Amino acid sequence: MEVTILGRGKSLEKLEDFKTNFDKVILVNEFWKSGGNPCDYYKEPIVSNFITGKEITLVGTPAMGDAAKMTQGIEADHNVKNKFSTVWAMGSETDRDRLPCSNWSTMPEECLESYKYTRLNEALRSVDMAGYGPLRGSLAMAILVAIDYFKADTVNIFGLDFYELDYLVKQNYNYENEKTQCKAIKEDFTTLFNHFKDIQFNVFTLANFEPNLDNVTVS
């Protein structure tokens, strides 16, 4: 099983030369117009051409706001099967037990064990987030969905540029703080990839990323 995850970085341009026989795609955060995002990403030709006809899962932070209204367009135009907020059902005993966005679901229960290990267990440590493991951000949560929910053994990732480059479409948000964390984010993703040793990760990025792991190919 192969799943393709799309972030919103400039390396989405690499989709132009990418082909897959599998139809499951995860879109991370706002692929639609919002206060922080000035355009409907899903309508950008390079994105639209790739996701048309595929089964789409949305994974997004609850900070998106009224996602129920904002996703009406993409749901009308494409085959959206799942909408997961990056939170857990109440009583899951995580640091993110809370209600999801309206008309969205909490993260799948199948992903809970991996989350607790990679985020809350001291066996893995983030390089700069004291008390937490290396799982950070919505795209990392999407990786759990790909592996534990869809049972993927190959995960393709586009649009993850570690804030070295801008987004495909310039955002209405100042990412200066995130840019200072570039090195730490790379190291945390490397630790996360190394944890899932049996999964092949194909990372299509424009960033300088060298994880030096047998199960990670960077293009």
Structure confidence by residue, pLDDT tens digits, 67-96:
667 888 999 999 999 999 999 999 999 999
pLDDT score of 44 more than 70: yes
- Percent of the chain scoring above 90 in pLDDT: 70
pTM of the model: 0.94
Predicted pLDDT at 102: 85
Across the beta sheet with 154-158, the strand order is 79-85, 55-60, 24-28, 2-6, 154-158, 200-204, 216-218
Compare 35 and 162 and report the one with higher pLDDT.
Answer: 162
- Average confidence (pLDDT) over 17-32: 94
* Joined tokens for residue 12: 């989405």
Which pLDDT belongs to residue 121? Answer: 82
Q: Considering its fold, how many domains does the chain have in total? A: 1
Is the distance from CB of 134 to CB of 143 less than 8 angstroms? no
Among the ranges given (101-110, 131-140, 176-185), the one the predictor scored with the smallest mean pLDDT: 176-185
CATH code of the domain covering residue 126: 3.90.1480
Give yes or no for residue 175 having a pLDDT over 70. no
Opening angle at CA 98, ends 97 and 101, nearest 5:
135
Question: pLDDT value at position 38?
Answer: 77
Report the distance separating Cα 167 and Cα 165, nearest Å.
Answer: 7
Confidence band for 122, pLDDT divided at 50, 70 and 90 = confident
What domain range includes position 85?
2-218
Task: Tokens 């690499």: give the residue.
Answer: 14
Sorting pLDDT into bands at 50, 70 and 90, what band is 151?
very high
